[in-house]
Structure 1
């Protein structure tokens, strides 16, 4: 038994998607207050080795064959890029002739060692959950020295050289970035990054939804404004 975990296969855009978490527990460079996984006991932005990787890689191959997957989505408990074997993981998927979608919070995407890895993927998702450095520090609690401005510039730099589809996921959070001034800032950020696809999301986890979730009316209003850029 390996350390990877999987969601049930689902169909998206006509493709059977196998979603895999490649971390044994949460390893992330952020420690967001609303993370459904919980606190970051392992706040890192450098690669780590994990036990049971050989069996995990074999299990992944078997899962791809057994589920007849047509796309593999690497969506992990934290920042998937810190798994030292991620190149092997991507190569296994590519070896099956399948496209790879990678979720990253986006902060380290333009570091040369991680840019190279992300460039192997057909789709890469980066994330924005605030509109100011003050809120970035307060509710995303990144590794010391990180800034929101650098977060944006890192994703922009990655997107400018990336040949695949760069997807930007913007989460609207009640009390933090749902006011008109914040929405305008987010609009400017979207224009600056110029993603190939934009996803507007909101807090859905039941634990945090009551305090940080938006009404359908307000969410749709903001979503329509941002999607029409």
Structure 2
């Protein structure tokens, strides 16, 4: 029995990628209205212990040895950093000589204990969705006390010290961050953060696409504005 789940091996930029979710169910510090996983019933920002971790680690080791990936991508049901065994997971992957990419929403990267863990990864992805405080609280529904200003600051502080590849994933959402004014604010964040790579996405989940998705034309305009900086 294992608490991890995997996607089929796929090729990205010529590399074999093993994508793994290390949470048995959703544990996150946000409760975004458009999350494809659903509601955050376990809304946490401190580490949690899970059962069957020995079996999960052995399964991960077998997956790496059998499939020989050239990158392991930790993309979990929520915030992967709250798994109390995250350091052991990273140590196992690195012991096999395989680079690691970690997806985090980025808020916890401002805390030393989490920043030290993330710093062990070869690549870290942080995220930006809402670009005003009101929208951040409304559509991302973070843990009480979180602010957009601190969110952005946490990623900036982390990346100033981080020696790996920091990737910023920007999700464009109709009615929230798709205006010219919002795009300019996002550009300012990108300039401050200075990521190694920017990925611009939009809402593609059919459940939310009609209300929150933007047109192809507008997506092209925004992508050009954010990627041609």
TM-score w.r.t. the length of structure 2 is: 0.99
Would you say how many aligned residue pairs link Structure 1 and Structure 2? Answer: 229
Q: Please state how far the C-alpha of 1:91 moved relative to its aligned partner.
A: 0.6
Q: Distance in 1 between matches of 2:191 and 2:210?
A: 31
Deviates further, 60-69 or 139-148: 60-69
- SS of the equivalent of 1:42 reads coil
Task: Please give the alpha-carbon distance, in whole angstroms, between the structure 2 residues aligned to 1:197 and 1:110.
Answer: 20
Residue 87 (structure 1) aligns with = 87
Q: What does 1:19-168 align with in structure 2 at a 5 Å threshold?
A: 19-168=19-168
Cα distance in 2 for partners of 1:152, 1:94 equals: 29
Give how far 1:180 is off. 0.9
Report SS of the residue matched to 1:198: strand
Alignment partners' CA distance in 2, 1:9 and 1:118: 23
- What residue is the counterpart of 2:9 in the other structure? 9
**1:201 paired residue number:** 201
Q: Give the drift of 1:67.
A: 1.4
Map Cα deviations across residues 45-86 of structure 1 (whole Å, 9 max, x no partner).
000000000000000000111112111000000000000000
Partner Cα distance (2:184, 2:116) in 1? 33
Partner SS for 1:108 = helix
Q: Which runs of 5+ in 2 are unaligned?
A: none
Q: Give the corresponding residue for 1:210.
A: 210
> Segments of 4+ in structure 1 off by > 6 A?
none
After TM superposition, give the deviation of residue 144 of structure 1 in Å. 0.1
For 1:79 and 1:158, locate their aligned partners in 2 and report how far apart those are by CA, in whole Å. 16
Q: Give 1:93 shift.
A: 0.4
Counterparts of 2:82 and 2:153, CA distance in 1: 20
Q: In 1, distance between residues paired with 2:85 and 2:122?
A: 18
Q: Deviations over 1:73-111 (max 9, x none)?
A: 000000000000000000110010000000000001121
**Structure 1 residue ranges without an equivalent (≥5):** none
> What SS does structure 2 have at the residue aligned with 1:43?
coil
Show CA shifts across 1:133-177 (max 9, x none): 100000000000000000000000000000000000000000100
Distance 2:72 2:209 in 1: 29
Task: Give the superposition deviation at 1:125.
Answer: 0.2
Where does residue 171 of structure 2 map in the other structure?
171
